[in-house]
Chain A
Amino acid sequence: DGGITQSPKYLFRKEGQNVTLSCEQNLNHDAMYWYRQDPGQGLRLIYYSQIVNDFQKGDIAEGYSVSREKKESFPLTVTSAQKNPTAFYLCASSIAVEAHYNEQFFGPGTRLTVL
């Protein structure tokens, strides 16, 4: 059963802590993405990765970090430098980033709340 999984579904963070959100895909896609969604707003791109060991900043990368050591996995770390991290985080993947191959498929999301 192919798809994208994200864990945990809910995550609570204390001020000053770093937390890591997991994203795994078994679609054999090269490209993976992280988006942030705030209430009543569209999604905004945090980071994306075209291939293993490569990643690029999106529009709102400050306070976040990623790694891409395996094709299947693209974890996102929300650092203490992110001033307003409470949001819904969505991971996506596509065959590639180039046009014609960039139809994106999304995971179920992780809701992060700062206590």
Chain B
Amino acid sequence: KQEVTQIPAALSVPEGENLVLNCSFTDSAIYNLQWFRQDPGKGLTSLLLIQSSQREQTSGRLNASLDKSSGRSTLYIAASQPGDSATYLCAVSSWDSSYKLIFGSGTRLLVRP
């Protein structure tokens, strides 16, 4: 059974710092992995999707990498800003159940001015 873990659960950094959020999954037979952002009381905003054949995806100050063999993905945020404060969730879909996203419990990020 696929399980997704995100560590740490919470992170507080000063503005301007580069940071890395971690996501690990137990079954490497994934089709793709998505990173989402969730602001308090809001829905999820899709940030990046990485197909299993890809190693990384970039969007602006965000870069997501995928290492299927080790069951890990990282989300790199460059030059963090207070507006980046949110909860970041990763989710994987597997080859045998592509309809379903398996979510981690998220990392709550606070960027201090």
Contacts and interface: CB of A to CB of B under 8 A. Distances in A.
B42 interface: yes
Contacts of B34: 103-104
Contacts of A104: 34, 46, 101
B100 A45 contact: yes
A69 to B, nearest CB: 20
A105 B105 CA distance: 18
A50 B100 CA distance: 12
A53 B101 CA distance: 22
Contact of A106 (B9, B45, B49, B106): B45
Interface in A29-64: 31, 33, 40-45, 48, 50, 56, 58-59
A90 B98 contact: no
Nearest to B31: A99
B41 A111 contact: yes
Interface residues of A, number: 31
Interface of B: 4, 9, 31-32, 34, 36, 41-46, 49, 51, 89, 91, 93, 95, 98-106
B99 A108 contact: no
A90 to B, nearest CB: 6
A26 interface: no
Given A42-B102, A102-B93, A102-B98, 11 more contacts: A31-B99, A43-B103, A44-B103, A45-B100, A45-B101, A56-B99, A97-B98, A99-B31, A102-B31, A106-B46, A109-B41
A40 B38 CA distance: 12
State the 5 A-B residue pairs at the shortest beta-carbon distance, nearest first. Answer: A42-B103, A97-B99, A99-B98, A106-B44, A99-B31
A102 B43 contact: no
Given A104-B46, A106-B45, A42 B105 contact: yes
29 contacts: A4-B43, A31-B99, A40-B105, A42-B89, A42-B91, A42-B102, A42-B103, A42-B104, A42-B106, A43-B91, A48-B99, A48-B100, A56-B99, A58-B100, A97-B99, A98-B98, A99-B95, A99-B98, A100-B51, A102-B31, A102-B93, A103-B32, A103-B46, A103-B49, A104-B34, A104-B46, A104-B101, A106-B46, A109-B41
